[in-house]
Homo-oligomer: A and B are copies of this chain.
Amino acid sequence: MGTGDFLDDFATLSTFGATERGGVHREAASDADEAQRAWFERWLTDRGFTVRYDGIGNQFGLLETAPGAPYVLVGSHLDSQPYGGRYDGAYGVLAAAHAVHRLAGAGGLVHNLAVVNWFNEEGSRFTPSMFGSAVFTGLLDLDAALDTRDPAGVRVGDRLAAMGHTGTGAPVLADLAGYAEIHIEQGRLLEETPATIGLVADTWAARKYDLRVLGDQSHTGSTPMADRQDALLGAAHLVVAARGLSDELSTPDVPLHTSASRMAVEPNSPVTVAREVTLNLDLRSPDEDLLARADAALHERIPVIERAARVSVEVAGSQRWGVRPFPAAGVELARRSAEELGLTHREISTVAGHDSVNLNGHVPTVMLFVPSVAGISHNEGELTHDDDALAGVDLLAAVVRRLAAGEITGPPPGAARTRPADG
């Protein structure tokens, strides 16, 4: 198989949900996602893979290389953000398919191989993100996941049934010997280093909140200012405060990333002061102490904001995790593979969540990055150069070969992501 095959396939994949400005718009279980999943099923079947779905719509392509043995699973996700980039997730799924296909018939493999397209990694249509891999690893209850609805009221379970994309016979967590994923960096460290390959050593710590700001409806014109209990004003103060935390607490060496990106206003009328606003706040840092200080500062500001806007702020949901390492043995295995291929590389952290973050701790997990031009991601302008994309497929094939040959085994104890804690 020549390198043109991968780029041709990637160009085809990029037509599903293609936008005018070079991106893709294919949220989970949209028509465009359904079409690309059908295309990918044919791609796998045509090359001798057996396609299976699990109960939450994760799509697997199985390749028997060691009858009766556990699987080395390789993949990422095909769904995108709204008006997102064509590389995020899709690159990793197609790289996995090509890498595994290259190993068909290879000698010395003690494990079977499987490719996976995780359902709804992005979480923009059905929350939370990393949805399919969360069910797979037991972090999210299957029935609750199936009952999740999008803003228009469409239920995950109904949509998956209509697509015919649930089933049985797919691998489960206990069937795995390892997991590997390659993804675009979505930052600009590799470009600036420069290096072709990121060996992902750990995940930044994060605290994520879903907040509910409660005010009271009134008339935007006639209500005296002192009488207003303005939920949108309260929410706006929270958004500005979150940014302020990053501005105040980040240092050149130790960044704090903060954001709010989703907001719903009720009743959202041009002449009625909002009674309720829901929004997310997201704080991330590679330094757990810094993150804890930022979180404390946020909680000190909330009462001030409550008084300023005459509202109350409730935590409707939260998630937190600390800095979590990927297995050092996997980083070393990937480093050796990169060096054999003559690829420049560096260790790196992932700030974004990935399906590999859910798998990490359950099975030996290797996470790899290729460069993103200017770090642009979740944007139609997302780009990874062809030579970098092809180098990534070569490396992934080498890494999967080593994993399938049994070079590392067993999960590191106690490092798995646990059920999100409220409060």
Across-interface contacts of A313 in B (CB, < 8 A): none
Q: Tell whether, in the assembled complex, residue A263 and residue B268 are in contact, meaning their CB atoms are under 8 Å apart.
A: yes
Which residues of A from 336 to 369 have beta carbons under 8 Å from B? 350-353
Taking the nearest CB of chain B, how far is it from the CB of A258, in angstroms? 8
Closest B residue to A377 using CB positions: B219
Does any Cβ of B come within 8 Å of A275's Cβ? Answer: yes
Give the A interface residue count (CB, 8 A). 76
Across-interface contacts of A188 in B (CB, < 8 A): 224, 227
Does any Cβ of B come within 8 Å of A185's Cβ? Answer: yes
Q: Which of B124, B222, B225, B374 interacts with A269 by CB under 8 Å?
A: B124
Q: Tell whether, in the assembled complex, residue A218 and residue B376 are in contact, meaning their CB atoms are under 8 Å apart.
A: yes
Q: Which of B186, B239, B273 interacts with A378 by CB under 8 Å?
A: B273
Segment touching B, from A68-76, A229-237, A385-393: A229-237
Does any Cβ of B come within 8 Å of A370's Cβ? Answer: no
Q: Which of B187, B233, B266, B269 interacts with A223 by CB under 8 Å?
A: B187
Q: Which of B227, B273, B380 interacts with A261 by CB under 8 Å?
A: B273
Segment touching B, from A80-88, A89-97, A133-141, A162-170: A80-88
Q: Which of B239, B353, B376, B377 interacts with A236 by CB under 8 Å?
A: B239
Q: A206-241 toward B: CB 8 Å interface, digit per residue (1/0)?
A: 101000000011111111110110101101111110
Q: A53-85 toward B: CB 8 Å interface, digit per residue (1/0)?
A: 000000000000000000000000000011110
Q: Which of B123, B129, B221, B267 interacts with A282 by CB under 8 Å?
A: B221
Q: Contacts A261-B272, A270-B127 hold; do A81 and B217 have CB atoms under 8 A apart?
A: yes
Q: 25 A-B Cβ contacts within 8 A?
A: A83-B217, A83-B275, A122-B269, A122-B271, A129-B270, A186-B222, A208-B270, A216-B379, A220-B378, A221-B259, A222-B377, A224-B375, A227-B374, A230-B259, A232-B239, A232-B261, A235-B236, A236-B238, A237-B240, A261-B265, A261-B271, A261-B272, A261-B273, A270-B280, A272-B378
